[in-house]
Amino acid sequence: MNNQKRRQILERLRADNPQPTTELAYTTPFELLIAVILSAQATDVSVNKATTLLYPDANTPAAILALGVEGLKPYIKTIGLYNAKAENIIKTCAILLERHGGEVPENREALEALPGVGRKTANVVLNTAFGWPTIAVDTHIFRVSNRTGFAPGKNVDAVEERLLKVVPAEFKLDVHHWLILHGRYTCLARKPRCGSCIIEDLCEYKEKVYPEN
C-alpha cells in the first residue's frame, strides 16, 4: 500500500470519527490503568461492568490496596484471569504508592515495571491519559493492519513499528483508536463487513491470501 492510499484511509476514518477515544470507562489516569490491566483477554464491556461496581468503592491506589487481593476479587470475578489480575493490581497499587506518590507515572519504563503492564498497556495509558502519539497494537489493530495491507507485520511488534513509520504525525494520536474501532465493528475477524466499510475501495484485502477467513 502506498502512502497516498494510507492518507486517504486515515482522512476517511477521521472524518467519520473526529475525536475517537477508548471505550473503557474512566475518569483518571489511575482508573484507566486499572481498566486496561483488566482488559487483557477480556472485552471492554465486561471491564466496564466490573469497574462500575469497583470504582464507587475504591478508585485510588490506597483504596484498592486496602481491599487486598481477596477483597478485590469479588468486584472483578466476572473477568477472565481475575485471580492473576487481582494479584497484579494489588502489587501495582503498592508500587504506585511506594515509588510514585500514588500517581500513574508518565514514563514508559516506570509503567512497564508495574505488574500486569506490558508494552501495549503502557502505550494505551501514555496515549489516552497523557496524549502521547503511541500506537497500542491489539488483536484488532493487528488484523486490520495486515488484512487491509495498511501496515503488515508478522507480530504485534512488527506491526507497531510499521505503523509508527507510515502514519503521518497528524494522525498518530488517534490512529490506534480508529483501527481498534474499525476492527471491532466493521473489519470483523470471521467475516469482515466489507459492504458497509467506508474504506472498502482503498483496502487491499484478498480473501484467498488471508488465513483467518
Do residues 34 and 89 touch, judged by C-beta distance below 8 A? yes
* Angle at CA of residue 66, ends 61 and 67, nearest 5°: 105
With cell 485510588, the residue in question is 60
Distances (CA, A) of 115 to 24, 150, 202: 20, 33, 41
Read out DSSP for 180-202?
A: HHHHHHTS-SSS--GGG-TTGGG
Do residues 111 and 122 touch, judged by C-beta distance below 8 A? yes
How far apart are alpha carbons 3 and 6 in whole angstroms?
5
How far apart are alpha carbons 14 and 174 in whole angstroms?
8
Q: What is the rounded end-to-end Cα distance, in angstroms, of the chain? A: 21
Active site residues: 120, 138
With cell 480508529, the residue in question is 178
